[in-house]
Structure formats: C-alpha cells, structure tokens
Amino acid sequence: MVKLGHYYDSDKSCFRIYAPYRKTVEVELNNGKTKFNLNLDKDGYWTGSCNRLPEGSLYWIILDGERSYPDPASKYQPFGVHSGSMIVNPKKSDLTNWHGVKMEDAVIYEMHLGTFTKEGTIKAAEAKLQYLADLGINVIELMPIGEFPGNYDWGYDGVFIYALESSYGTYEDLRKFLNKAHELGIAVINDVVYNHFGPEGNYTGFYAQYTKDADTPWGSAINYDSKDCSGVREFFLGNVEWWLRDIGFDGFRLDAWSMILDCSESRIQREICDLAHKIGKEENREILMIAEHLRNDKNVTSAEDNGDACDSQWVDDFGLSIRAFLTPDSNDRLFKSFAPNPFKDIITSLKQTYVLDGSRFNYAIEDYSGTKPEGVKPHQCVIYIQDHDMIGNRVKGDRFISSAGRDKTLLAAVTLFSSKNIPLIFMGEEYGETNPFLFFESFSDPWLIEAVREGRKKEWQFSKIEPRDSHDVETFNDSRLDWDKLSNDENRQILSVYQNLIKLKKSKVIGYTGEDSIYEVENDENTIVINNGRSRVLLNFSSAVKNFDGVDGLKVILSTNPANTNNQLQPYSAVILSNY
C-alpha cells in the first residue's frame, strides 16, 4: 500500500495528495515563507519531495494557488481541525512477543478516553491498565480517537481519520499505552468511522469527490463506488494500514457498518476485512474486526460468497430485551421492538442471539431487519447490557444501574456472562458507576452548535425532560467516571461480582464451552436456568422468592444476594451452582 499525505523516505520528506481535478497543488511551509510544487500523475495524485523536514514542522496544502488547507491524510493536528498539519514519525508498538487475543476468548471493555479518567488522556488511561487486567479484561475497545473539532466529543464527528486526537496526547503516549496493554495480555482495538465525515473541519471535498449524493443519518455517504472513487477507496484502505501496521492496534470496531453504501462488485467492506486479516497473518497475531452493523445479518461474519468476513458483530437484542423488561421507562423507539414480550425475547436472545431475525418490524430503523442465525457461531456476536449508545442516546444519559438499581443490574450481569456470546461492558459498569454518559461536543461553528441543540430538543420533544446542552463543558465533565466510588463497600462488592463473573466466563465454568458441549436454556414464570454441563445458573426475573429443584450436589459459587440458597432465590437475583 502506497503512503498518503506526508511520509519520510530516507533523507527526503515526500508528499502524495489525491486531487485529480486541481490545476496546481503546492506544499506551504514556514508560515508561507516556503512553497514548492507537486506534480500530477495519471492516477490523480500530486507527488513531490524536499529535504527531510524535522518532526514538528507544520505544513499546508495550497490548491490552485487560491487557498491553503490541512492535509486530509494528516497524522497530527495539534492546533485543531482548521489549522496546519504537523509532521510526525510515530514508532510502532512492540509486537515482538505479542500474538493477540482470539475472538472466542474476548472479554471486551468499551472506553471513552476523554471521560475514563479525570485527566482524559492516554497517559492517565495507561495508569489504569493494571486495574483492567486484574478485572479480567483482555480486549479494550477505544471509542474513536481521530481528530475532532474542539477538545471533547464522542469521536464520531472526526474529520482527520489518520490523526490521533491531540487532546488525548501524543503518539508516544499511545505507543506506551499499547505496549503496557500487550504486556498485561490485553488487546486494544480502535473504533473507526468509515461511513461519513463529521460536520466541521472536513476539507476533503476541496480535494476530490470523497462523498456522494447519498445520505447516512450523520451526513453524506462516503464515495466508494461513484466517479473518482479509486483514490477514496485507497484513502480508507490506507487508514487500515496506518492504525494496524504502522501504529500496532489489534483490530477495529467498525462503526455503523451498514451505513457504508457501496454497490461495487468488490465491496469495500470485504476489502477492509481482508486487508486487516492479511496484516495479522503477516505479523503472526490476531486482528479482531468487529462490526457495528445492528441489522443481525449473518453475512457480516461470513467469509462465503459476498460476506464481509468480519470476526464478530455487535447485537443489540440482548441488552434491549433486558432493559425493556427490567426498567419501566424504556419507552423510546430503541426498545419499542421489544415491548410486547421482552422476557420471551431474553430467552430467544440467549438461545439464538438474534431476536430481530427478519420476522419482526424494527422500529429503530423503521423496517424489517435481520436474517435467520443458522451458521452463526457464538463468538461471532458481541452482546452487552449497555454500550455508549444505549446510555448516551437516552435523554438523561442514565446508566443501567441508575434506572434499574443494584439487584437488577447484577442479575443482568450474570445473565450476560452466562450467555454463549462474547460479553462487552461499558466503562464503569463493573463497579456500579452512576455518573451519566451524556452526549457532548465542542464544535466552534455557532450555527452548528445551535442546530445540534435544536435537533436534540426535537428528538426528545415527547419527553417532559429537556436534554442537557451537549456543547456545555459541564455536560462533558459530568460524564467522567468517579473512581472515588471504589472506596465504597457497595461499589467494591459490585466490582467483585464482575471480576468473578469474568473469571468464570474465561475458564468456561459459565457460558459456551465448545461445539460439543451442553448449552441449555430453560424458563418458567419469569425464571431462567442455564446449564452448560459445568454449571447451573439460576436467574429470578420476578419480584417474588422463587424455589428451584434439581440442584442437589452442586454448591453455590456466586450469588448476587446473601439470602439466596441452593434452591431458593430472592427477587431479581441470581446464583451460579457448580462443582468446578
């Protein structure tokens, strides 16, 4: 794969810019004191070189002698999305003794760097890696880290997909973070946005037709299949190379995978996954490609025919079913598809993962969605009680525990880890964090700021609660984790339950144990029993004390309520029984 933007070649600084219809392209250095021309080749790229520029140098790209723009393939924008691009030469993380984590072994922790710690930096997050290793986490999924407008954002408004968000730190900070994670046996995957660009600071349209006349919910779709798409496809495939081969990430969470609109014979989704797996094979390590598709399409994880060949995909059905049943205020459209009989849907999700399998209307997308799950393996589905969307897209940004309370939360957690699929937890969930995770942004365009405010008010007009101002810095600050909660007995007890659940899941005492294993789900009157041959998990989803039979000879190895016994469960509680 050829390099894009600025790159070093021996004693030269080289530039390669895709701008097929521009008449001239120049590189501007030293605040305009130095300029030199690039030359157009037959593929629409402007290329050229000069004596090696020192790291930290700023440059601009001048198009047709009229105006200077940042480089779309900039690797660092320390002065923001509207400023010049900085030359950096990051060192790759050390992969000498690292071979990654297999998808079927993954326990995933979703993290937003800006709110994970008080400092909101990579360096501060590195100091928490031992805590995550002790918890049992072996895959960290970072919400998008590409440069976005301002200093706080979820990351999905990024416009420089090659550039590390400068408010999070430096590439050296990132290298140390990856190295430390790998030393602790933790893979790190990067949440990437290949379906749209953010609404502020996107200068790609001045260079070429990076988007097309088709919409996603967040802006114009990326041009993967229309006129001049070759350079656009190479831009995104180059980004796969950048983060995996040049930086050393262990894979991607692929945002809104279904919103990549490509009708090419060779679809970009498959090319992205094939390239990622090729890198993994060449470097003798596991690369994890996890799609946020949310259409329950088995072709996403299929390598046959025209499948995408992703390793796994997010499936909302478990979390939405759980929340629809256990919380009375789950009345927005995300939960409407599960409202008629959510307990039955919990059972279905435990048995076959897909609840929305094409036979039921999906109110979230206002269409029927899903395929029958035949042939989908348990590790090809990632499930959760909550993720950033399930929390942050609620008007109050309230976490599950804030809506359901401790007992129901731990009941849901035991159900999650006893399922046959891959578990994901959202940062802070493991100790019962109650601070909200709100939607926040730091745009600088006054019109855009007001449009976001009005859009959110309109979205929640049916509610009696007005959403928090997403632009207010206090909305961001209030979304930070409160690590002081770990000084409380109750929070430490919740943490202990999660730690034990992860240990039992990884040792296969609970959950799926292999293709030839037992995995049975029984239910009766709002109770569930999961048997995998090594354990029996008893789950009481009712407000009454429940009695269970057939558990003689097994001992309680985990209980969410001290009053539980081998055959009697308190309301909204769970026990795990085993001789292992």
Q: Please tell me the least confidently modeled range out of 95-99, 134-138, 358-362, 504-508.
A: 358-362
Closest by CA to 421, choosing from 380, 362, 391, 451, is 380
CATH number of the domain that 19 lies in? Answer: 2.60.40.10
Residue 363: which pLDDT band, with cuts at 50, 70 and 90? Answer: confident
pLDDT surpassing 80 at residue 463: no
Quick check: helix, strand or coil at residue 408?
helix
DSSP 72: T
Domain stop point among 86, 107, 138: 86
Range of the domain at 42: 5-86
Do the Cβ atoms of 568 and 550 come closer than 8 Å? no
pLDDT classification of 565: cutoffs 50, 70, 90: confident
Instruction: Output the CA torsion 71→72→76→80 (10° steps).
Output: 90
Assess whether pLDDT exceeds 60 at residue 209: yes
CA-to-CA separations, 557 to 504, 534, 566, 568, in angstroms, rounded? 10, 12, 10, 14
Confidence of residue 338 (pLDDT cuts 50, 70, 90): confident
Mean pLDDT estimate for the chain: 94
Whether residue 539 lies inside any domain: the answer is yes
Give the Cβ contact number of residue 402 at 10 Å. Answer: 18
Stretch among 39-43, 433-437, 462-466, 571-575 having the lowest mean pLDDT:
462-466
Q: Is 173's pLDDT higher than 60?
A: yes
Pairing of strands 555-559, 34-37: unpaired
62 phi/psi in degrees, rounded to 5: -100, 125
Question: Does 77 reside within a domain?
Answer: yes
- Cα separation, 566 vs 557, in Å, equals 10
Residue with tokens 């922790």: 109
- Asked if pLDDT for residue 58 goes beyond 70, the answer is yes
264 φ, ψ (degrees, to nearest 5) = -65, 155
- Report the CATH number that the domain containing residue 544 is assigned in CATH: 2.60.40.1180
Considering only the C-alpha atoms of the chain, give the largest distance between any 2 of them, rounded to a whole number of Å. 83
Mean pLDDT of 462-479: 92
As a dihedral over the C-alpha atoms of residue 146, residue 149, residue 154, residue 157, rounded to 10 degrees, the angle is -70
In a domain, 245, yes or no: no
Both tokens assigned to 447: 């019109």
Domain count for the chain, please give it.
Answer: 2
Tokens of 554: 């097994």
Question: pLDDT confidence of 9, banded at 50, 70, 90?
Answer: very high
Report pLDDT for 192. Answer: 98
For residue 537, being part of any structural domain is answered with yes
pLDDT digits (tens, 9 = 90+) for 367-388: 888 999 999 999 999 999 999 9
Judge whether 559 lies within some domain: yes
The SS3 assignment for 580 reads: coil
| CB 407 within 8 Å of CB 573 | yes
Task: Say if residue 316's pLDDT is above 70.
Answer: yes
Q: What is the number of other CB atoms lying within 10 angstroms of the CB of residue 289?
A: 29
Q: What is the mean pLDDT of residues 22-50?
A: 95
Number of neighbouring beta carbons within 10 Å of residue 567: 16
Q: Are 282 and 317 within 8 A, CB to CB?
A: no
Cα(472)–Cα(476) distance, rounded to whole angstroms? 7
pLDDT digits (tens, 9 = 90+) for 408-430: 999 999 999 999 999 999 999 99
Band of pLDDT at residue 48, cut at 50, 70 and 90: very high
8 A C-beta contact, residue 18 and residue 40? no
What is the reported pLDDT for 332?
Answer: 64
Q: Is the pLDDT of residue 278 over 80?
A: yes
Q: Write out the catalytic residue numbers.
A: 255, 292
Q: Which of 28-42, 47-61, 87-101 has the lowest mean pLDDT?
A: 28-42
Check whether 337 has a pLDDT greater than 90. Answer: no
- What sign does the CA torsion over 206, 207, 211, 212 have? positive
**What is the β-pairing status of strands 251-254 and 361-362?**
unpaired
C-alpha to C-alpha distance for 318 and 119, rounded to whole angstroms: 33
In a domain, 58, yes or no: yes
CB atoms within 10 A of CB 523: 17
Read off the pLDDT of each residue in 161-169 and give the average, rounded to a whole number.
98
Q: Which two tokens stand for residue 206?
A: 């001045």
Q: Is the pLDDT confidence value at 333 over 70?
A: no
Averaged pLDDT, 27-56 = 95
In DSSP terms, which residues pair with 140 in a beta bridge? 109, 188
Q: What are phi and psi of 52, to 5 degrees?
A: -55, 125
Which of 38, 59, 86 finishes a domain?
86
Cα separation, 109 vs 347, in Å, equals 25
CA dist 74 and 112 (Å) reads: 23
pTM above 0.95, yes or no: yes
Mean pLDDT of 329-335: 64
On whether residue 256 sits in a domain, the answer given is no
Q: Is residue 69 part of a domain?
A: yes
Going by the DSSP 8-state scheme, the letter that residue 244 receives in this structure is I
Q: Which residue has the higher pLDDT, 554 or 428?
A: 428
Q: Which residue among 34, 67, 86 closes a domain?
A: 86
Q: Say if residue 330's pLDDT is above 60.
A: no
Q: Which residue has the higher pLDDT, 169 or 465?
A: 169
CA angle 221, 225, 231 (to 5 degrees): 90
What mean pLDDT comes out for the span 207-235? 94
Segment 169-182 shows an average pLDDT of 98
Kindly give the pairing relationship between strand 422-426 and strand 108-111. Answer: parallel
Q: Which residue has the tokens 């006129």?
A: 227
Whether pLDDT at 248 is above 90: yes
Supply the pLDDT for residue 331. Answer: 55
Query: In terms of C-beta density within 10 A (0-12 exposed, 13-18 middle, 19 or more buried), how is residue 465 classed?
Result: exposed
